[in-house]
Chains A and B, each alone.
Chain A
Amino acid sequence: MSATVSISFDLNAAGKNMGYLVVGDSTNHSGWASHQVPIISIKNGQGPTVLVVGGTHGDEYEGQIAAASLSRTLKVEDVTGRIIIIPCISMEAARNGNRLWNDGANFNRVFPGNENGAIHGKLAHFLSSELFPQCDGVLDMHSGGRSMYFIPSSNMTWVKDKEQRAKLIKNMVAWNTEVHMVGGEQPNTDPYSLLNRNAEAQGKSVSTGEFGGFGTTTPQSMRIIKEGLENFLRAFGVLKGAVRTREEMGRGPLSIIDFRDGNKFINAPRAGIYENLVALGAEVKKGDLVGQIHDVDHPDVPPVPVRTATDGVVGVIRGFPPVVTGDCVCVVGKKWNSLEELERSEAN
Chain B
Amino acid sequence: MSTTVSCSIDLDAPGKSTGYLTIGDSTNHSGWATYMVPIIKYKNSEGPTVLVLAGNHGDEYEGQFAARDLANNLDLNEVTGRIIIIPCLSQPAAKAGTRLWPDGTNFNRIFPGNENGAVHGKLAYYLSTELFPQVDAVFELHSGGRGHHFIPCSHMVWSTDVNQRKKMINSMQSYNTTHHLVFPEQPGTDPTTLLPGLVERLGKELVTTELGGSGVATFESITVAKEGLRNGLRYFKVIKGEPKTRQQLGKSAPVFLDLRGSRSYHSATHAGLYENIKGCSDQVSEGEVIGLIHDMDHPDTPAVEIRAKQSGVIGVMRGFPRVGIGDVVAVLGPAYASTDEFPEKPH
Contact = CB atoms under 8 A, between A and B. Distances in A.
Interface of A: 18, 36, 38-40, 61, 64-65, 68-69, 71-72, 87-88, 91, 94-95, 97, 146, 149, 214-220, 222, 273, 275-280, 282, 294, 296-300, 302-303, 317-322
B254 interface: no
Given A95-B322, A299-B87, A303-B72, A275 B65 contact: yes
12 contacts: A40-B299, A69-B275, A69-B294, A69-B303, A215-B321, A216-B149, A220-B279, A279-B218, A282-B219, A303-B72, A319-B216, A322-B96
A219 B277 contact: yes
Contacts of A39: 299
B296 A222 contact: no
Contacts of A302: 72
B299 A87 contact: yes
**Ordered nearest first, which 4 A-B pairs have the shortest CB separation?**
A299-B38, A299-B18, A219-B279, A279-B219
B118 to A, nearest CB: 20
Interface string B10-45: 000000001100000000000000001011100000
Contact of B215 (A36, A214, A300): A214
B38 to A, nearest CB: 4
Q: Which of A72, A219, A318, A320 has the most CB of B within 10 A?
A: A219
Interface residues of B, number: 50
B94 A217 contact: no
Given A36-B297, A279-B219, A321-B216, 9 more contacts: A65-B273, A72-B302, A94-B296, A279-B220, A282-B219, A297-B36, A299-B87, A303-B72, A317-B219
A61 B220 CA distance: 23
A273 B63 CA distance: 13
Contacts of B218: 149, 276, 279-280, 317
Nearest to B147: A216
Q: Which of B149, B273, B279, B318 has the most CB of A within 10 A?
A: B273
B88 interface: yes
A222 B38 CA distance: 41
Contacts of B282: 219
Contacts of B65: 275, 294
B95 A216 contact: no
B276 A218 contact: yes
A216 B318 contact: yes
Contacts of A303: 68, 72
Contacts of B319: 214-216
B64 interface: yes
A296 B215 contact: no
Interface string B39-81: 1100000000000000000000100110010011000000000
